[in-house]
Chains A and B, each alone.
Chain A
């Protein structure tokens, strides 16, 4: 029920995105007539040549790295912004869970906000009335219906917001990363709701970084890469390809150190085995080019989770480094890190002298494909960034 035909969206870059004041706009006009610039230099295509069709009842995931155009695609489909070229046809009402609680006003009571929010999301007054009790039940806010929501706890606020969104009956549901916010319970409700919508023959488009969730809910998957459609097919195949396409190795090059004769050529992350899985050894390659030999150089590797907290610290001492180019490979096995987004911090020192230190040198991601343990799977979906290292506990019964 979604047909997208060679759609493209161009944004103006830099100051051209908006001219806040009339003076800026006038100045730009004048400058442009004085020295006309080629159009390409101050605009870029966030999406270009996108074509696909989604039948009703299909649940389709959309993956891609940051800036690949996922959000732009959703904004186009939800009509928040219009395409620069191409054509989109939508069969039926569209609702987007881009952000729950849109249009909530703190001064209004819970009851009033249900009507306001429902109306903004596209429900008629009659529809809201029909499911009003159900919304209130779902949100568990009966006693506070006539309290202004500025006095609600954040949990109540979220529940109410989601309750309204959950009662939309659109033919097409767009979901963007809502699972990244809220507590585990809330995320479970989101996933459950999406599955329910799909079962009733409606179309769902689900954008997420959370590959485990995508795998769990969707049957088909689109991959966006630099604004273009790079893949479209059954979720399993597409994700395997997507991960194989270099997502696993990230690299950073040419880092200056405190010593002029110690140069870091590159730092590279390699997830050892292409086959996905949990707790595979990590491998970091550090390429150095040295003007002289060094002795007893200590390398400290720190792994930070996506919230920036350092969760693993690892250290190795290299007794001798010769002059010239050297590549060192550091392996961290048994790290017990669950899938997710991480960053490496690197420190290099000799005795007490610091040679190099930087946090967040290299971002990398551990995939969640092929994590078969159902217990762990649930954790991954609901408790990203909150688990730290995941180590199954052994237990036994003691006679007392």
Chain B
């Protein structure tokens, strides 16, 4: 055992009141990236360990959702998708959306459900909400393979831009989920109302995002406001890449990107400021 610690020069750690976001803070988070992996891995393996259908749930959730939406919005409401079969159209929006919603939901509860850890050991707390956004990536991968099968069955071929646009859009969704998740998880430590609010927030946010409808249904002069929702940019570009729906005029990708960046910065800065008293409050 002693050999494993050979020549590790003790690094001085300085603890001072309320430091908030700093370079050292970020470095500390980075130094614990392995723990991040462990948390994500634990979440995944625990989730599938005791459920009968296991991995099947990751397939059933999007499939059932698509079936319901197709029935209501495709058939009853008759939303025009410009020639693309409604289930495929809807599924493209659901891929990032379900991932985003699940990540935010899990991240928000992450602090409170791990209060045991918060009051007993030190590690950069940001690891918890970020870790919570990693496990849904597995579900996303499974749902994506389902989508590939769906495309093949409908004989649809993605755009060549998909090669870089799809990973970029998904990374974008993850990025926003981390920002929002960090902010909400920190607030949830102080106010449990946040946890109560989440289902409504998620629902409202979904209808504010073009998951079940195309952006063309939004009046053109209002589209730039609509684009302030990061999910609009993500879904519009995914639809462009995967099912060749052109990006509707008036949608501001820069608007989506700016808001996304702001959410991440605000989320992490707020988190860093509130972090120091988590153990006293949770």
Contact = CB atoms under 8 A, between A and B. Distances in A.
Contact of B1 (A75, A115, A169): A169
B281 A119 contact: no
A178 to B, nearest CB: 12
B151 to A, nearest CB: 36
Contact of A169 (B5, B38, B118, B119): B5
B10 A91 contact: yes
A90 B15 contact: yes
B117 A103 contact: yes
Contact of B16 (A1, A87, A98, A120): A87
A22 B193 contact: yes
A200 B2 CA distance: 9
B77 interface: no
Interface string B25-56: 00000000011001000100110011000000
Size class of the contact patch on chain A: 35 or more
B12 A169 contact: no
A39 B191 CA distance: 23
A397 interface: no
Interface in B108-129: 116-123
A271 interface: no
A386 to B, nearest CB: 27
Size class of the contact patch on chain B: 35 or more
A117 to B, nearest CB: 10
Contacts of A103: 116-117, 121
A122 B32 CA distance: 8
Contact of B17 (A78, A85, A96, A115): A85
A105 interface: yes
Contact of A81 (B13, B19, B116, B280): B280
A79 interface: yes
B161 interface: no
B281 to A, nearest CB: 5
Contact of A127 (B4, B17, B45, B117): B4
Contacts of A86: 17
Contacts of B15: 76, 79, 82-83, 87-90
A84 B34 CA distance: 30
Contact of B18 (A17, A82, A125, A169): A82
Interface in A103-154: 103, 105, 107-108, 112, 115-116, 119-122, 124-127, 130-131, 134, 148
A250 to B, nearest CB: 31
Interface in B188-202: 190-193
Contacts of A169: 1-2, 4-5
Nearest to A18: B281
Given A92-B10, A99-B120, A120-B35, A83 B16 contact: yes
Contacts of A122: 123
Interface of B: 1-5, 10-19, 34-35, 38, 42, 45-46, 49-50, 116-123, 190-193, 276-277, 279-281
10 interchain residue pairs of minimum CB distance: A92-B10, A79-B122, A82-B276, A88-B15, A90-B13, A119-B38, A81-B279, A22-B193, A102-B120, A91-B10
